[in-house]
Every structure is written in structure tokens, then in C-alpha cells.
Structure 1
């Protein structure tokens, strides 16, 4: 005998097929095979007590703060434990309860649905298309900045930048990510005019001569608008619509894919992944309110931004906890201080460390990896995909 590690319902069905189980019986048994831990934050005792009672009644359980049962605490987090079948039964009961528990039931249902895996689909990037979910996509980094931490000054003229882009294409990139403002620790912000002067001349050539989607890495709505006017296909916002409140309306107007990265000032967290999910839920709500369709949103855990080295390692280790949002995940670890500080290496010696983080990221659910060393990372991606995606 041996234990099976199962992530989603599709893998359960495969195991049923292997033992020759009846299809109708498999449909009944599948929800019993998936055990989930779901954490809910900041509930009132009366909410938590009802949830615990319902979970116990269906054979599951819920851990709450001591003092919840007699309401001697104001709030409690709740850790739910149960099979998918038990959760589905509890959701039906919670829909009939007061105290905003019906809304919570809908969010719980959406989370469970999302945990059953993201199906391959097309991402429409204006006149270009990308297929998400069949294989890991590689985003090649093209910085046209004099001060980027890894390649600052290397491609800050048009000819050098275009030559770099062509090399990235030849090496197997699926997307080119063009950035005009460095965001390394201690960077000096630049004006809109300066960023436009760096990005737009290169972008104008790229969209004519490079047959790949071009992403523009910016937090400024006016830069995004001009880039989209010129022909950019994707906007990559390191502040998830929060640095410039006009960004959401610009992206919505052009209906292009949007990468939203987790970021914050400082490195204090109550619960790293819980805080990250809350951040994304808020930014997703902002995006949808502006008219950005959910199918166009990609999330990025923001490795190296507002996090210590230990936070970055933890985020990589727990990356699957973003699956509950049901959105494709972009991972950017290339040559970052996470690798440099862990291995005590300068930026030009971080290829192997980057490869390890890319492989682990894919194993933990990343759909796109953003890298400098495209040739080497394409090999890592293909090997990892062979194991993970089959």
C-alpha cells in the first residue's frame, strides 16, 4: 500500500479509473476524496459558532479562538477542516443563515470550485493569443533603464534593446516584458515624461518587428495609455492598480490582460498568504468595478517586494494557497536578492538559483515565469513541465 497525494478532482478521477470504479459511483465518491483546510479571518463569535456547529453536524470540524463559544472575544479566525462533500453540505445550510453567512457561503463555494484546477484557456492579447495552462509560459525581461539591479544600462538605446528582444525570441520567450523604471530597493522614482522617453521609442519598433505579445511594466496610467495607443498587448502593474487610481479605467478601456503584483510598504504581516489573498481580493474588486473582466487578470506574488528573504521563501513554498482565487499566476524570481542572499552570490551568478525557484514555482502552480536568462530557463521550464504537467 502507499499514500496518494491528490491536489484536485481531476487527479481523483484518474485514480478511480485505475481501479476500475463505476463512473456513477466515482461521481458520488469524488467529493469524499478531497480534504480541504480553509482559513477564514475576523469573524464574530456568533458567526464562528454557527459555522462550527454546521461543520460538526456534517462530520467536519472548525478550530476557533478560545472564548468564542461564550463570546468573550470580539473576533476569531476560523480554520475549517473537512472533505469537499462536507463543505458542500455546509454551504447549503449557511445560505439560509443570518449574520452575512450567506455571502460567506458563496465565497467558500467559489474557493472550493477554484481549488479543482484551472482549465487551459486562451488569453486574448489584442491581435495575439496565449494559451494558459497547457505549458508554462516564459516572459523575457527587457529593461530600458540605466539603473536596474541586474542589467541596468545594458539596453538603454533602441538598437541594443531591439537586439536583446530578438535574442529573447530566438531563445524561446513567449512574451516580452518592457520596463522603463527600475524598482529595486532604494530606487529613485522618475517622471512620466522620462519613462515615456525610455519606453515608447522601443515599443514602437517592438510591436512592428517582434511577433510576440509585448507587456509594459508600469505603475503610471498615462504611461499605460500611451503604450496601449502604440500597440502594447499587456499591462504589468507592480502596485495592482493602487499607485495610480486611473490605471483601472485605462486597462478597462482597452480590455487587455493585466498583471497585478502583490506589494506593500514595509515587511510586517499578520499572516503572509492570508494578507496576500486579501490584497488581491481588494484589487480584483477594484478591477472588476472599473470594467476589467476577471478572465483578463493575472496575479503575481511579488517576490522581493515588501518581503524579507524568509517571506519570499515562504511565499514560494505556499504558492498553491493562491489557487483559491482561480486566477493564473505569474512568478518573477529571476536574479533577485532572494537568490543572492540565500546563496551569497552576485547578480551575474544567480542562474542556477533562479532555475530552482522557477522549477518549484511551476510545481506549486505558476503559469508564467518572468526571467532574464530565457535560454536557460526555457530548458528548466520544459523539464519541469514534463514532470508536473505530464
Structure 2
């Protein structure tokens, strides 16, 4: 005998098939084997007590603060423990309860749906199609800046930048991410005019010569607008629509994919992943209100942005938890300081450390990896895909 570990309905059904279980019976049993831990924030004692009793009645459980039973606390977080079948039964009961528990039932149902297997699909980048879910996509970084932390100045002229883009495509890049403003700690902000002067001459050539989609890494709506007019295929916003109030409408107008990164000006968190999920939910709501289709949204956890060293490592360990949003995840760890601090190596010697983060990230659910060393990371992605996507 051995301990069987599986996190997915598909994996369970495969095991049932090996045993020779009747398919209808397997479909009934699968929810009994999918165990989930779900954390809910800021419930009243009344809400928490109802949820705990309902979960206990269904064979699950719920951890609550000590003072919930006598209402000596005003609020509590709740950690639900149960199978998918138990959650389904809980949702059914909560829909009939007062105290806003019917709303909570809807949120739980959406979470379970998001945690289910997302079928492969195509991401439409203005006619250029990218396969999501079949294999890991590799986004090559093209910084046309003098002060990028890793390769500042190397591609800060049109000829060098275009040559670099061609080389990355030859090495297997699925997307080129073109950026004209550094985001390294202590970077100097640049004006719209200067960013356009850096990006547009390169972009004008790339849209003619490069077959893969070109992403524009910017937080400024005027830069995004001009780049999309020239022919860019997607926008990578490191502030998730929060730096420029016009960004959402620009992206919506052109109906292009949007990468939204988690970012903040400090490293204080109540709960790292919980706070990030709330951040993304707010930005997703902003995007959808502006008319950006949910299927065009990609989230980036923002390794190294608004997080200290230990928080970055924790995020890598817990990356799979972002799956509750049901959206593709882009991971950008390439050559970052987290790797430098572990290995005590400068930026240009972090390829092996980057490879470790890419492999772990893919195993934990990343759909796209954003990298400098394209040839090496394409190989890492293909090897990791062979192990985790089958």
C-alpha cells in the first residue's frame, strides 16, 4: 500500500479508472476525496457559529477564534475543512440562512468552480492566438531602459533591441514584453514622452518583423494607447489599473489581454495571500466594470514588488493558492534579488536560481513565465511541463 496524493478531480477519475470503477460511481465519489482548506475573513460570531455547526453536521469542521462561542470577540477569521461534497452541502444550507450568509454561499460556490480544472483555451492577442493550459508560455523580457536592474543599457538603442527580440523568438519566446521604464527598487520615474521615445521606435519595427505577440510593460494610459495604435497585442500593467485611471478604458477599447501585477508601496500584510487575493478581486472588478472581459485578464503575483525576502519565498511556496481566482498566472522571478540573496550572486549569474523558481512556479500553477534567459527557461518549462501537465 502507499499514500496516494492527488489534488485534482481528473487525477481521481484516472485512479478510479485504473481500479475499474464504474464511471457513474467515480463521478459520485470524486467530490468525497477532494479535500479543501478555505479561509474566510472577518465574520461575526453569529455567522461563524452557524458555519461551524453546519460543517460539523456534514462531517467537516471549521476553526474559529476562541471567543466565538460566547461572542466575546467582534470578528473572527474561519478556516473551513472539508471535502468538495461537504462544501456543496454547506452552500445549499447557507443559501437559506440570514446574516448575509447567502452571499457567502455564492462566493464559496465561485471559489469551488475556480479551483476546478480549467480546460485549455486560446488567448486572443488581436488575432495572434496563444494556447493557455496546454504548455507553459514563455515571455521574453526586452528592456529598452538605461537603468534596468539586470540588463540596463544593453538594449537601449533600436538596433540592439530589435536584434534581441529576434533572438528571443528564435530561442522559443511566445511573447515579447517591451518596457521603457525600470521598476527596480529606487528607480527614477520617466515622463510619458520619454517612455514613448524609448518604446515606440522599437515597437514599430517589431510589429512588422516579429510573429509573436508584443506586450507593452507600462502603467501609463497614454503609452498604452499609443502602443496599441502602433500594433501592440497586450498590456502588462504593474499597478493593476491603479496607477492611471484611464488605463482600464484604453485596454477595454482595444479588447487586448491585460496582465495585472500585485504591487504596493510597503511590505505590511495581515495575511499575504489573503491580502493579495483581495487586491486582485478589486482590480478585476475595476477591469470588468470598464468592459474588459474576464477571459482577457492574467494575474501576476509581483515577486519582489511590495514584498520582502521572506514574503517572496512564502509567496513561491503558496503560489497555488491564487488558483481560487480562476485566472491564468504569470510569474516573473527572473534574476530577481530573492535569488541573489539565497545564492549570493549578481544578477547576471542567477540563471540556475531562476530555473529553480520557474520549475516550482509551473508545478504550482503558473501559466506564463517572464524571463531574461529565454533559451534556458524554455528548456526548463518543457521539462517541467512533461512532468506536471500530463
TM-score (norm 1): 0.99
Structure 1: 5+ residue runs without aligned partners?
none
Aligned alpha-carbon RMSD (Å):
0.7
Q: Secondary structure of 2:66's partner?
A: coil
Q: Which residue of 1 aligns with 2:283?
A: 283
More displaced 10-residue stretch of structure 1: 344-353 or 50-59 = 50-59
**1:200-219 to 2 correspondences below 5 Å:** 200-219=200-219
Q: Which residue of 1 aligns with 2:172?
A: 172
Residues 195 and 223, structure 1, Cα contact 8 Å, conserved in 2:
yes
Q: Which residue of 2 aligns with 1:132?
A: 132
1:67 aligns with 2:70: no
1:26 aligns with 2:26: yes
Q: Which residue of 1 aligns with 2:343?
A: 343
Q: Secondary structure of 1:323's partner?
A: helix
Q: Which residue of 2 aligns with 1:372?
A: 372
Q: Which residue of 2 aligns with 1:160?
A: 160
More displaced 10-residue stretch of structure 1: 44-53 or 173-182 = 44-53
Q: Secondary structure of 1:81's partner?
A: strand
Q: Distance in 1 between matches of 2:51 and 2:262?
A: 30
Structure 2: 5+ residue runs without aligned partners?
none
1:185 aligns with 2:219: no
Q: 1:47 Cα deviation (Å)?
A: 1.1
Q: 1:103 Cα deviation (Å)?
A: 1.3
Q: Secondary structure of 2:56's partner?
A: helix
Q: 1:6 Cα deviation (Å)?
A: 1.2
Q: Secondary structure of 1:265's partner?
A: coil
1:94-139 CA-to-partner distances (Å, cap 9, x unmatched) read 1111111111111111111111222100000002010100000000
Q: 1:266 Cα deviation (Å)?
A: 1.0
Q: Secondary structure of 1:82's partner?
A: strand
**1:214-293 to 2 correspondences below 5 Å:** 214-293=214-293
Residues 7 and 116, structure 1, Cα contact 8 Å, conserved in 2:
no
Q: Distance in 1 between matches of 2:375 and 2:24?
A: 47
Q: Distance in 2 between matches of 1:245 and 1:53?
A: 45
Q: Which residue of 1 aligns with 2:102?
A: 102
- Number of aligned residue pairs: give it: 390
State the 4+ residue runs in structure 1 displaced beyond 3 angstroms: none
Q: 1:378 Cα deviation (Å)?
A: 0.6
Q: Distance in 1 between matches of 2:365 and 2:384?
A: 11
Q: Distance in 2 between matches of 1:128 and 1:352?
A: 31
